[in-house]
Structure 1
Amino acid sequence: MIDDDPVRSGLVAAADRLFYARGVQAVGMDAVRSEAGVSLKRMYNLFPSKDDLVVAVLAHRSRIWDDGIAAAAEGLTEPQDRILAIFDFLADWFTQSDFRGCAFINVYGELGPNSSKAAAAVERQKRAFADYVAALVREADLPADLAPQIVLLAEGAQTTAAILDDPAAAGQGRRAAETLLGAAAAA
């Protein structure tokens, strides 16, 4: 869903920048309002609670993730190549100056189950990614248990790159995925 309300999309973009850089709990609604240049009344009309804004930011992040994965896989016809393209996307992302790890993991780590709306949004994104990888594994006619292994490599690469400030984690994940794909194809 593309947001065609410029005030709403401006609030989501401002919240995304602030939450991603400083954390959800460290950023108040007034800071978001100020960053977006929107009145408090208008902001609360659009987002009655901070949880609602967090969920909108996570939906925005899901679109960024999906678009990035799609762009990395564009033109690739082989499912195995599209699986490996995930790590190419990660490699590009990890070198961006504002990279702070996975926004979904960060939000879940901050809010956990205390925000059922945010936790559900995180779970939706993680399941969607797992389903995407599972579909590619099926298309490649490889064993189904390979999909969660690839997902774990991608998730682990994100966490490692963020915590250790090491963009090489994407390449390491890609090489591990190549090994898994090769072993599964040979079996």
Structure 2
Amino acid sequence: MRNERKNAVRQTIIDTASRLFYKQGYLNTGINQIIEESGVVKSTLYTAFRTKEDILMEYLIQSGAATDEALKTAADKGKDPKAKILSVFDYLIKLVQEKDFNGCNFLNLISEVPMDAERVVKQIQKQKNGVRALFSGILESVEKESLADEIYILFEGALIANKVHHKVWPVESAKKIAEKLLS
């Protein structure tokens, strides 16, 4: 029972921090705000996590797993490699139109953290390499790795352009380019 309570408190901290990191940024989110909004006492937070960066790492791990699962589910809707890739872009088109979408959380964070925050940077790279591997895995039976890299760059570029313009057209354009590359 005690472990369940400990895990529930830990998850409450993560959920609160995740919402705040995504909405207002990592650097703009203070430990005191996480404590206040999660409803835990300071000592409980520091028992669960030694540092704010430890909270960020758990956020990245959980968010990365959820993102990987969502992209895999989207790809699985397609019957062949081309349809699988286009299904991922269809998922992205829907995602960027959601009311609360504030850009890719990994791309948002990589622009905030210093490059010497090695374990954070490596975790973000791991997640992005997972996206790249998804495209490589889909295309391995039909093409060289270079096409998967091109699709990956389109995907990431569409996320950045969407963040800049706050419009869906960058993702729709990237999907059209991907479709041409896959033909």
TM > 0.5:
yes
Q: Who is 2:136 aligned against? A: 134
Q: Who is 1:63 aligned against? A: 65
Among 103, 107, 110, the residue aligned to 1:108: 110
Q: Who is 1:144 aligned against? A: 145
Structure 1: unaligned runs, 5 residues or longer: 183-187
How many residue pairs get aligned? The number is: 178
Matches within 5 A, 1:8-19: 8-19=10-21
Q: Who is 2:92 aligned against? A: 90
Mean CA deviation greater in 27-36 or 148-157: 27-36
- The separation in 2 between residues aligned to 1:34 and 1:47, in whole angstroms, is 16
**CA shift for structure 1 position 63:** 2.0
- The separation in 2 between residues aligned to 1:173 and 1:155, in whole angstroms, is 9
Among 22, 25, 29, the residue aligned to 2:24: 22
Q: Who is 1:185 aligned against? A: none
Q: Who is 1:161 aligned against? A: 162
- The separation in 1 between residues aligned to 2:129 and 2:45, in whole angstroms, is 30
- Equivalent residue of 1:110, what SS? coil
- The separation in 1 between residues aligned to 2:107 and 2:88, in whole angstroms, is 17
Q: Who is 1:175 aligned against? A: 176
Structure 2: unaligned runs, 5 residues or longer: none
Amino acid aligned to 1:154: F
RMSD of Structure 2 on Structure 1 (CA) = 1.4
Mean CA deviation greater in 148-157 or 61-70: 61-70
Deviations 1:10-51 (A, max 9, x none): 111111110111110111011111111111111111111111
Using the size of structure 1 for normalisation, the TM-score is 0.90
Q: Is the 8 A contact 2:96 2:168 kept in 1?
A: yes
Q: Is the 8 A contact 1:12 1:60 kept in 2?
A: no
